[in-house]
Structure 1
Amino acid sequence: MPFFLFGVDMFDVAIVGARCAGATTAMLLARHGYRVLMLERAEFPRDTLSTLLIHLRGMELLARWGLLKDVLATGCPPLTELSFSAPGIRVEGSVPAEGDARMVCAPRRYALDEVLARAAVRAGAEFRPGVSVTGLHREDGAVAGVTCRAAGGRMTVERARLVIGADGRHSTVARLVGAPYTRWDGRLTRAWYTYWSGVEGASLRLFLGAGLGGAAIPTHDGLTLINVQLPVGHPTGERAERDRLYLDLLARASPELRDAVAAGARREDRLYCCGDLPNFFRRPYGEGWALVGDAVLHKDPMGAQGIADSFEQAALLGTCLGDALGDRERSAAALGRYAAALESRFAAPYEENLLHARLAESEQVMAGLRAVQDDPRFREAFLRTLSGATEKQNEVPRMA
């Protein structure tokens, strides 16, 4: 039986996971005056699987939090132009404004997550990287902390009034509390991507074609992430065949990008093949615990909404908690408001993302896209939707 040392301090909040959801939640709660412990099993800086894009609503939150300049200072290029292409259709234009944000960007996660973790520490959070959470500490039947193991094997119990799981779609916290799925829509696509140098153009390019989808997303160091989304039932071949298959899929889905790659681009990384991309909601809270980010809501990356979603959820949780921690009844009521806010804000976008992830090219879908291409009113609204703007939600032709 392992020997656990009890931490001498009582934290208001222990957050498991220090990437987009965890670090922003820690920062906001620490800024509110709470004593926050942030635990992360990885050592930073550390990359992770991601399509990188931060939508406009996420950029606006970074600006509001005073972090947008820090993110851009990492060398991530601002993306002010975008395009969408499908067979016989092309829509392009400038990224619209959202508050103080006038661009989107796609920082490598080793850079973004470091910026966010440092912001949490500046706000007063205690950060412990290289620590794995192995269990939960309970008092009077409620979650009251975590048991964890440091890199050297030292086991400790850290007590906290609230434990927040920000540890991804395979959340340890969700598993330990038994948080049920309140909705499960399975896996719809696979994401295959890699990084290229020498791809001309500094715009965000999205595409749909041949039952496939994807994007070309400029990022750090002159590289462009080129992603192809394929239906989960599409043949994937043997591992040794996938490099060739990726190029074949890209050629079918986007002849424009095929030509851009063929014109002298060079692949700079291995091919990442991600198939574990379920769509779900989990129950977001219980006695002494809450979930945020991919731990509570995971969507197919076809819409590349995960980072902006995490930022919004962190803001919602912080706003709902307010100064309620420390009072059991008020905390429960605050977490109930958080659950209601999640449903209100994310249920409809979740449904819309499911539609996009089905990669449909029905006549109704194509007719809607042609209307977007031909009508300036629809085109402006469509560009706002692609950019992830949240205000001025003009009507876009229905494509279901």
Structure 2
Amino acid sequence: MYDFVIAGARCAGASLAGFLGRQGYRVLLIDKYASPGPALSTHIIGETGVYERLGILDKMENSGAPAITRMRVDLNGSVFESDLVVTSRVIGLRRELLDRYLLDSALSHPSVTLLTETRVIGPLLDGDGRASGFRCAHKDGTVRNYYGQVVIGADGARSLTARLLGARQLEGTPLNHCAVTYVYASQIEPLALPAVEWYWKDDSVVLCNPIDRSMHCIALMTDRIRLSGDKDSLNSLIREKLQGIRTLAPRLRRMRVEGGPRGIGPLGSHIRQCYGDGWALVGDAAAYLHPIAGVGIDNAVCCAEYLAQELSEYKEGRKTWQEAMTSYEEKLHGRVRPQYEHSLVTLRRRFEPLSDEGEERLRMLCTFPGLVKELGGRSENVMALLTRS
């Protein structure tokens, strides 16, 4: 019998195990993979405090990934760039590196146990219908039951745990968001000041940011890409799309693809019921936002901390189960709901055409210094106009 049994050992599950293990709780982590590997992600990490509390911030900052302090937005060749405002810096790390840091941090606590190459095949319920564990299949074909006072699903957007436990969908979109594919690429000419680069190109979006090992992560988001083809064809298509961005293409002359392409087809966003009788969800299992939002990693880790705090309150008898989980839900929704709405607005804007007159005015704004200064002076009015529309 464990205090907590967690299905999924990536950034949400490993972070949760780390926070709970630090308090001495007996935690069982279950994952179907042998070790952390690549995962779909924009690889953008903006928080600092939560990773410091997990004890991995120094590793992240010494990984070779540059601190990114700028945001660069390119709309058909008109470029806007500024220092970041919501955080002082972001870092881009390959997920196989970040998730390994998080997992090692969790396993540094003696009370945390990891089972790899193990699949959850069903929930266990006690006589009152309360979740009490998972039934699991091991690589060698054996099936065993693992019991916990609380079970947690941290098993991603297509969470089997959520489905098996009957978690309701509170918010959701059709499965029609644009497909996403990404590659790791080396020998890209870097910007003088590292930036998160965002390119609007027709009805597509390209994100490009430096990561560890002097590489860049390039994510292509478009309806016009098929992920079912062979990798060489997909790589050729990605290169063709990138070469069509005239402000990016000159920096790609020596580009070498080092990993990928990997990606997902059209997928919807959702916010699910995040707890029930004896169970809770965290990470993408609880709330999945399209990668265009660029906040998935931080959301997973920060919401894992929220959940760990409330589970501790429950275990120590300071709150009832309902009180603790209601508080967790409020924290989670307070964080992700505004992001959810904003991401849907951004996705819709892919289909809003920019007229020739609009492009001409945009170029004037970018090339007439006096207009830029005037825009800054009237920024309050401009922001009010944009947010109303």
Q: Same fold (TM over 0.5)?
A: yes
Instruction: Return the alpha-carbon distance in structure 1 between the equivalents of residues 385 and 292 of structure 2.
Output: 19
Question: How far did 1:287 drift?
Answer: 0.3
Aligned pair partner of 1:35 in 18, 26, 30: 26
What count of residue pairs does the alignment treat as equivalent?
370
Secondary structure at the aligned position of 2:39 is classed as coil
Alignment-derived partner of residue 149 in structure 1: 137
Q: Confirm or deny that 1:44 pairs with 2:30.
A: no
Secondary structure at the aligned position of 1:222 is classed as coil
Alignment-derived partner of residue 2 in structure 2: 11
State the TM-score, normalized to the length of structure 2: 0.85
Aligned pair partner of 1:90 in 79, 95, 99: 79
Per-residue CA deviation, residues 343-398 of structure 1 (Å, 9 max, x unaligned), is 22211110001111222445699899969976458989x9xxxxxxxxxxx98942
Alignment-derived partner of residue 105 in structure 1: 91
1:149 maps to a residue whose letter is: A
Alignment-derived partner of residue 207 in structure 2: 215
Q: Confirm or deny that 1:130 pairs with 2:117.
A: yes
Aligned pair partner of 2:187 in 186, 195, 198: 198
Asked if 1 retains the 8 angstrom alpha-carbon contact of 2:15 and 2:54, the reply is: no
Q: Confirm or deny that 1:162 pairs with 2:150.
A: yes
State the TM-score, normalized to the length of structure 1: 0.83
Aligned pair partner of 1:343 in 322, 326, 333: 333
Secondary structure at the aligned position of 2:173 is classed as strand
Question: How far did 1:205 drift?
Answer: 1.2
Instruction: Return the alpha-carbon distance in structure 1 between the equivalents of residues 280 and 294 of structure 2.
Output: 24
Asked if 2 retains the 8 angstrom alpha-carbon contact of 1:217 and 1:224, the reply is: yes
Question: How far did 1:286 drift?
Answer: 0.5
Alignment-derived partner of residue 260 in structure 1: 251
Which aligned pairs between 1:1-400 and structure 2 lie closer than 5 A?
Answer: 10-54=1-45, 56=46, 58-87=47-76, 89-96=78-85, 98=87, 102-123=88-109, 124-139=111-126, 140-186=128-174, 187-201=176-190, 202-231=194-223, 234=224, 236=226, 239=229, 241-252=233-244, 254-261=245-252, 263-325=253-315, 330-358=320-348, 359-362=350-353, 375-376=375-376, 397-398=386-387, 400=389
Instruction: Return the alpha-carbon distance in structure 2 between the equivalents of residues 296 and 153 of structure 1.
Output: 30
Shifted more, 366-375 versus 212-221: the winner is: 366-375
Are residues 378 and 340 of structure 1, via their aligned partners in 2, closer, same or farther at CA, if it must alter by over 3 Å?
Answer: farther
Instruction: Return the alpha-carbon distance in structure 2 between the equivalents of residues 379 and 264 of structure 1.
Output: 40
Asked if 2 retains the 8 angstrom alpha-carbon contact of 1:378 and 1:395, the reply is: no
1:113 maps to a residue whose letter is: D
1:145 maps to a residue whose letter is: G
Per-residue CA deviation, residues 122-180 of structure 1 (Å, 9 max, x unaligned), is 23422222221111111121101111122222322111111010000111211110112
Asked if 1 retains the 8 angstrom alpha-carbon contact of 2:77 and 2:246, the reply is: no
Are residues 357 and 296 of structure 1, via their aligned partners in 2, closer, same or farther at CA, if it must alter by over 3 Å?
Answer: same
2:122 maps to a residue whose letter is: G
Gaps of 5+ in 2: none
Asked if 2 retains the 8 angstrom alpha-carbon contact of 1:277 and 1:299, the reply is: no
Instruction: Return the alpha-carbon distance in structure 2 between the equivalents of residues 310 and 368 of structure 1.
Output: 37
Instruction: Return the alpha-carbon distance in structure 1 between the equivalents of residues 107 and 188 of structure 2.
Output: 37
Secondary structure at the aligned position of 1:24 is classed as helix
1:83 maps to a residue whose letter is: R
Asked if 2 retains the 8 angstrom alpha-carbon contact of 1:378 and 1:397, the reply is: no
Are residues 44 and 235 of structure 1, via their aligned partners in 2, closer, same or farther at CA, if it must alter by over 3 Å?
Answer: closer
Are residues 265 and 357 of structure 1, via their aligned partners in 2, closer, same or farther at CA, if it must alter by over 3 Å?
Answer: same
Asked if 2 retains the 8 angstrom alpha-carbon contact of 1:162 and 1:288, the reply is: yes
Gaps of 5+ in 1: 1-9, 383-393
Asked if 1 retains the 8 angstrom alpha-carbon contact of 2:171 and 2:272, the reply is: yes
Secondary structure at the aligned position of 1:220 is classed as coil
Question: How far did 1:273 drift?
Answer: 4.1
1:174 maps to a residue whose letter is: A
Instruction: Return the alpha-carbon distance in structure 2 between the equivalents of residues 283 and 76 of structure 1.
Output: 36
1:343 maps to a residue whose letter is: H
Question: How far did 1:97 drift?
Answer: 7.6
Question: How far did 1:213 drift?
Answer: 0.8
1:71 maps to a residue whose letter is: M
Instruction: Return the alpha-carbon distance in structure 2 between the equivalents of residues 378 and 153 of structure 1.
Output: 67
Shifted more, 197-206 versus 288-297: the winner is: 197-206
Question: How far did 1:399 drift?
Answer: 7.8
Are residues 73 and 377 of structure 1, via their aligned partners in 2, closer, same or farther at CA, if it must alter by over 3 Å?
Answer: farther
Alignment-derived partner of residue 385 in structure 1: none
Per-residue CA deviation, residues 43-93 of structure 1 (Å, 9 max, x unaligned), is 124222322211x2x333213433211223333333233311113532223
Per-residue CA deviation, residues 258-293 of structure 1 (Å, 9 max, x unaligned), is 2221x2222233433421432111111110111000
Question: How far did 1:215 drift?
Answer: 0.9
Instruction: Return the alpha-carbon distance in structure 1 between the equivalents of residues 331 and 61 of structure 2.
Output: 30
Asked if 1 retains the 8 angstrom alpha-carbon contact of 2:177 and 2:266, the reply is: no
Asked if 1 retains the 8 angstrom alpha-carbon contact of 2:40 and 2:263, the reply is: no
Shifted more, 37-46 versus 137-146: the winner is: 37-46
